[in-house]
């Protein structure tokens, strides 16, 4: 059974090779996928599946280390929902719902993938982590995962990887996760503004990146997926870029007791 599951994950990953133009929390450098990278990606996916199964949870927030962002004080580069659903064979399988930038462009889309696809590529580190939200949040979010309309309700196509956490001009991947979580806790038809207000009321604090003027100018000029004009001028000119990161989300869940302890998975 384990071999069948691994082969199934491998098939999904290979099928996903055609979609590798979509990235979030990974380098946009195009590299041929090596056998070693594929093998290690599948090994991490299998370890993550085992940890998720052992958790007894039905939905978690799952993070990966796609890029080296340590100089900004960031460990995990990308956040997604991972949820359990029936596999049609009497068992269950884990699916990932997340937002991906069309690499280097100013727009993004929502993708539903398997764990194998989620870890496919050439990440900075073969490491993942997840946190299970409270049972009430899981119950509110699970119906959203399989409802296309609700899953897309908070999504906005204009993308900046450093989008201001309290603006609606752009939206990066981790921000979509948080706004979707918040919207699930609100009455149907909630707006992004209302979702952000809920997060503020729940004491969420985005990460603060300290970027100099040259870094901001270079990012805006050389990359279509980086913009700073949604940040308040006073904060922007002071080099305080407040954006949503997986690390800040995990800290918030622990601090507010809206989630459990962080579980890490990684390859040696």
What pLDDT score does 22 carry?
52
What pLDDT score does 15 carry?
35
* Rounded-to-integer distance, Cα 115 and Cα 6, Å: 11
CB within 8 Å of 196: residues ≥ 6 apart: 165, 166, 168, 179, 182
Helices 173-184, 135-145: axis angle to 10 degrees equals 110
Which range of residues forms the domain containing residue 10? Answer: 2-266
What pLDDT score does 137 carry?
98
- Alpha helices (H) in the chain, listed in sequence order: 2-15, 35-55, 115-118, 135-145, 148-151, 173-184, 192-201, 213-222, 233-237, 246-256
* Rounded-to-integer distance, Cα 99 and Cα 252, Å: 21
Q: Is the pTM of this model over 0.75?
A: yes
What Cα–Cα distance (Å) separates residue 137 from each residue in 85, 134, 178?
17, 5, 12
What pLDDT score does 34 carry?
86
Model confidence pLDDT, tens digit, residues 1-40: 443 344 344 333 333 333 344 555 454 566 677 888 899 9
What pLDDT score does 88 carry?
86
**225 burial via Cβ count (<10 Å: 0-12, 13-18, 19+):** buried
Looking at every residue in the chain, the average pLDDT score rounds to: 87
| Number of domain units in the chain | 1
Regions in the chain scoring below 70 on pLDDT? 1-31, 212-222
What pLDDT score does 29 carry?
60
- Cα maximum dimension of the chain: 58
Model confidence pLDDT, tens digit, residues 54-72: 999 999 999 999 988 888 8
220, β-bridge pairs? none
């Amino acid at each position: 059974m384990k071999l069948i599951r691994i082969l199934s994950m491998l098939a999904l990953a290979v099928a996903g090779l055609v979609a590798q133009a979509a990235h979030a929390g990974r380098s946009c450098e195009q590299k041929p996928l090596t056998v070693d990278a594929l093998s290690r990606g599948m090994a991490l996916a299998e370890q993550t599946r085992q940890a998720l199964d052992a958790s007894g949870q039905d939905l978690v927030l799952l993070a990966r280390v796609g890029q080296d962002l340590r100089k900004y004080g960031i460990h995990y580069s990308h956040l997604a929902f991972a949820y359990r659903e029936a596999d049609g064979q009497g068992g269950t399988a884990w699916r990932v719902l997340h937002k991906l930038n069309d690499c280097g462009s100013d727009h993004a889309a929502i993708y539903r993938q398997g764990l194998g696809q989620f870890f496919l590529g050439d990440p900075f580190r073969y490491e993942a982590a997840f946190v299970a939200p409270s049972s009430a949040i899981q119950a509110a979010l699970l119906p959203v995962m399989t409802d296309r309309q609700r899953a897309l309700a908070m999504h906005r196509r204009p993308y900046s990887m450093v989008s201001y956490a309290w603006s609606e001009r752009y939206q990066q991947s981790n921000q979509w996760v948080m706004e979707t979580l918040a919207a699930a806790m609100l009455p149907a038809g909630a707006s992004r503004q209302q979702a952000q207000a809920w997060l503020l009321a729940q004491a969420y604090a985005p990460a603060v990146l300290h970027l100099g003027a040259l870094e901001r100018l270079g990012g805006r000029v050389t990359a279509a997926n980086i913009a700073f004009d949604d940040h308040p001028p006073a904060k922007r000119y002071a080099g305080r870029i407040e954006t949503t990161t997986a690390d800040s989300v995990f800290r918030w869940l622990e601090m507010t007791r809206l989630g459990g302890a962080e579980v890490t998975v990684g390859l040696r």
